[in-house]
Structure formats: structure tokens, C-alpha cells
Amino acid sequence: MKKGRLLLAIMSLMLLTVLFTACGKNTKDINENTTSNDETKPKYVIACDSNFPPFSFEENGTYTGIDVELLEAISKKEDFDYELKPMDFGSIMSGLSDGTIDGAMGAISITDERKEILDFSEEYFESGLSMGIKHDDTSISKFEDLQGKNVAVKKGTAGSEFAEDNKEKYSLNLKYFDNSQSMFLDVEEGSSDAVLEDHPIIAYEVKKATPANLKIAGDKLKTFNYGFAVNKGKNQELLDKFNKGLNKVRADAEYEKIVSQYIVR
């Protein structure tokens, strides 16, 4: 009798084990199906500037900034996935050209020259070009004061284009860098007399440093807007999603909430 009860208990235990195992497999299948559903959403490779605060920069092992947060908000509005690829600005331009990236949000200024090779979204930020100098320098107050001086610029940017256009007229000695922080340091150390960079980038640098190492000299040298970019004639679907998502983010005030975290306007 005892043996019969023991056998019954063992069989019941085995049955329960089978049932729980089956339940476990169903849960795993559900999870796999959810992943599969996510994979059906459009996924794009989108570049950002690897070191361009406050628009994109690394902090505590992850990338953040205006561009990064706006892209995340827009992707949620338009229901697409993306792989973020931080790159230097020159690599972003070549990556768009050769198709290794689908789009870029690297504080790229919209210019007529770039429109010949790129398609742009609606502007998402109004910017401009400014001149930064050492905080205690009183010899430079306008661009003409750079006559014969060393000027730091970043390759392929509005700053380098402006400097190159005026190089001969003012006998400028141009020093090229891959990122903004290297330019700022070169001015702080006295190797360059000034840096030409987008206004919000210098403004952010001046704001965050205590005490300030740089200051902005004079008025903006020119004004321009930033846009999301794709290769000319390619990825129109992505461009449309960006524009629609941008309008939604602006409409519900999420845009201002993101920008105001980094820049006082």
C-alpha cells in the first residue's frame, strides 16, 4: 500500500515537472515573438558627432546631448529603431556619401554646398558661427583682429570654410583639428589665438568651465541652421519620419524640454 502511494506521488511529481517545463517553454516563445515583432520595425544606422557637446558627447559610458535625446524622442514618435554610431565629423560626411550610414544628426549646418550632395530635414536648431579667444585676451574683439594670427578650426565645418575663404585676405595661419575640445585646449594653452566654432558649442564650453578659460569675442560671424542629413536621393523614408517626428516633438513641448537642459536661450 505504501509502495502504491509512493509510486503515485512520484508519478504526480513527474507530471508537474512536465507541466512546468511546458509553461516555461511557452513563456520563452512569447518573448522570442516580441523580439521578432520589434525586428519588423524599420532600423537605421544613424551617426552623431563623437565629441560635440552639448549636441552629442559621452558621459558615464553612454552618449547624450541635444542631438542624441532628440533622435530618441523622434524615433519613439515615428516607431523606428536605430543604431547610434558616434564618429568624427569627417567620417560622418564620408559615411553618408558611401552609404555606410543611413543618416546623421551631428549638428550639421545646412549650406548650399552641402545641399548638392545631401538631402536635409527641416531645420531643428538655429545656430551661427562665433569666435572664441582666451578668457584674458583683450587684443581681439572682431574678426579683423585675427590678421596674421593662428586660428583653430575643425575639418569640414562651417568654421573651417569661413576661415579658408578669408585666409589670404587676413594672412591667417589655420590649424586643423578633429574635435572641438582639442581646439579649445589649443587656444587655452596659447598655441592658437582664436577658435572658429558654432556659437552654441563655444557658449556651452564657456558656461560649463569654472573659472572660464574661454570667452566669445564680437558678434556672430554668420548664422545658419542645423538639419538631419541623408545621402542625396537616398533614404527619403527616413527623412520623412524625422520631419514628422520633429514636428510632433515640437508640438508637445518635448523639444524645448530637451534643449533647455543644455542651453539657456
Q: What is the pLDDT of residues 84-137, one digit of tens each?
A: 999 988 899 999 999 999 999 988 989 898 999 999 999 999 999 999 999 999
Whether 242 and 228 have beta carbons less than 8 Å apart is answered as yes
The answer on 168 and 234 residing in a single domain is no
- Report the chain's mean pLDDT, rounded to a whole number: 85
pLDDT of residue 217: 96
- Give the integer Cα–Cα distance in Å for 91 and 105: 13
CA–CA dist 218, 140 (Å, integer): 8
Tell me: do 108 and 232 sit in the same domain: yes
Are residue 209 and residue 135 in the same domain, yes or no? Answer: yes
- Nearest in space to 221 (alpha carbons), one of 149, 147, 106, 141: 141
Predicted TM-score (pTM) of this structure? 0.71
218/243 same-domain check: no
Q: pLDDT tens-digit profile of 3-43?
A: 344 444 444 444 434 333 333 333 223 223 222 346 788 99
> Do residues 114 and 233 share a domain?
yes
Q: Averaged over 198-224, what is the pLDDT?
A: 89
Task: Kindly calculate the radius of gyration of the chain based on its CA atoms and give it in whole angstroms.
Answer: 27
What's the pLDDT at 19?
Answer: 36
Residue with grid cell 516563445, as numbered in its chain: 29
CATH number, domain of 252, equals: 3.40.190.10
- Whether 134 maps to a domain, the answer reads yes
- Sort 29 into a burial class: Cβ within 10 Å, 0-12 / 13-18 / 19+: exposed
Number of domains in the chain: 2
Give residue 244's domain range: 43-126+225-260
Instruction: Indicate whether 122 and 88 sit together in one domain.
Output: yes
Residues 6+ apart with CB under 8 A from 146: 131, 140, 170, 172, 193, 194
Question: In DSSP terms, which residues pair with 226 in a beta bridge?
Answer: 109, 125
Q: Same domain for 198 and 244? A: no
